Structure formats: C-alpha cells, structure tokens
C-alpha cells in the first residue's frame, strides 16, 4: 500500500491548522503550531512567495488538501473516493465525508485504538484489527452499519493500545459509535450526518466539489 512517509508537521504548517497527524504530540509544545520557534510558518525556502491573497482555485485546492491529509490519504485514493461519492444520490460533499468516515482506519482511530489515522492504518496493515471476528488488513475497508470492530487477542496485550484507550475516559466516542473498553471492541452504529462530524466544521466540502468539477 502506497503511503506518505515524509514529515507530517509540514502538512499542518501548509494548512495553517492542526490536522492531528501525530496524535497527542499535536497538543504538546513540540507541535510547530503551538510553539514560538522558527518553523511555525508555511514550509519551503520562501514562504513569503505564497503568502499573497489566494485565488478561487487556490482556496479550493487548500480545502481538498486539508481534507485529504486529515484522513491520511494519497491523491489517487482520495479522487476515487470522490468519484464514488459523486455517483451516490444526494449532496456529493456530504457523501464524501460519510465515505471517509466509514474507512476502517478512521473508525479504528475514532474508537481510540490508535492515536492517529496513520497509526490506525499501520495497526490494520499488521493484522491487529478484526471486523465481525475476521481479520481485515485493508485500511480503506468500508465499514457497514452494525459491524463490530475489535482488537485481535494478541494485540490486546500491546501497551500502546492500552495507553491510547485512556483517551476514551477524557473525550468518549462519537454518537455513531459504541465502545467496550474492557473487551477492546466497538460497534459502528450508524453512518454519521455531516453536521455530526464536528472535527470538520471548518472544512467547506463544497469547494472540493467545485475543484473536481472544473
């Protein structure tokens, strides 16, 4: 599976907002957007060259990049997901968000088995995640309503997953999910409505639709 292996903080700096690509590290003083160091502005040798007022195309591109990077996807995979969303009846932008939320790596992240979507994808790739009692090693696997997502018996002994689950006591889980912390398993209860995905409240998916419709 192709994946981005470069510096993740560069993406947050490019978008000017935290995308939480490194889990709890993004909330610490080590995050460039939280510090007062030199590496807090736009990445590149001459950030001032890109600090001019963006064009309509530039705004659309940034919105697409922000959403794509939030879900830790590459361009080809994101475009295929958009094309699928466009074929589904209803608003394309809302369909896109719902398809992204149904990705297995995203659900693993939402259930606090992983501290970031990158880590969640790695857990899935390594066979640590079961869906309805069967091992699934494809991060883009589309979860359906009623599916049970659980940590494999062997992976339940992993300290990193136990540490990640402590986040549940602080923030809980979204209302379209349920989680049994002790059994390390959760259920996908419903496909979320766009308004329920509060993490993306600053994303304007209509700009992404306009970009791909050019």
Domain presence at residue 72: no
Give the CATH number for residue 48: 1.10.1050.10
> Same structural domain for residues 39 and 114?
no
Q: What value does the CA radius of gyration of the chain take, rounded to a whole number of Å?
A: 18
What is the domain count for the chain? 2
Instruction: Evaluate if pTM is beyond 0.85.
Output: no
Phi/psi of residue 149, each to 5°? -110, 125
- State whether residue 79 is helix, strand or coil: helix
Domain presence at residue 177: yes
Within 8 A by CB and 6+ apart from 150, the residues are 129, 130, 133, 183, 184, 185, 186
For residue 37, what are the domain limits?
1-52
Domain presence at residue 80: no
> Same structural domain for residues 48 and 108?
no
pLDDT tens by residue, the chain, 214 residues:
555 555 555 555 555 666 655 555 545 555 555 555 555 555 555 555 555 678 999 899 999 999 999 999 999 999 999 999 999 999 999 999 999 999 999 999 999 999 999 999 999 999 999 999 999 999 999 999 999 999 999 999 999 999 999 999 888 899 999 999 999 999 999 999 999 999 888 899 999 999 999 8
Joined together, the tokens standing for residue 127 give: 């066979």
Enumerate the β-bridge partners of residue 177: 188
Tell me how far CA of residue 184 lies from CA of 114, 119, 149, 161, in angstroms.
12, 17, 9, 9
> Same structural domain for residues 108 and 184?
yes
Give the CATH number for residue 164: 3.10.290.10
């Amino acid at each position: 599976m192709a994946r981005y292996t470069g510096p993740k903080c560069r993406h947050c700096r490019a978008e000017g907002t935290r995308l939480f690509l490194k889990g709890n590290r993004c909330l610490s003083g080590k995050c460039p957007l939280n510090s007062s160091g030199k590496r807090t502005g736009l990445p590149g040798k001459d950030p001032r060259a890109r600090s001019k007022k963006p064009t309509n195309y530039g705004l659309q591109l940034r919105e697409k990049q922000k959403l794509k990077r939030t879900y830790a996807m590459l361009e080809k995979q994101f475009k295929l997901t958009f094309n699928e969303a466009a074929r589904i009846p209803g608003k394309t932008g809302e369909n896109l968000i719902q398809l992204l939320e149904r990705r297995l790596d995203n659900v693993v992240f939402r259930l606090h088995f992983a501290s970031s979507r990158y880590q969640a994808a790695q857990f899935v790739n390594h066979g640590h995640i079961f869906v309805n009692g069967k091992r699934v090693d494809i991060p883009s696997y589309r979860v359906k309503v009623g599916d049970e997502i659980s940590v494999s018996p062997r992976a339940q002994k992993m300290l990193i997953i136990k540490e990640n689950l402590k986040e549940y006591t602080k923030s809980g889980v979204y209302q379209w999910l349920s989680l049994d912390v002790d059994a390390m398993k959760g259920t996908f209860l419903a496909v979320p409505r766009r308004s329920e995905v509060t993490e993306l409240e600053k994303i304007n998916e209509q700009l992404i639709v306009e970009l791909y419709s050019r």
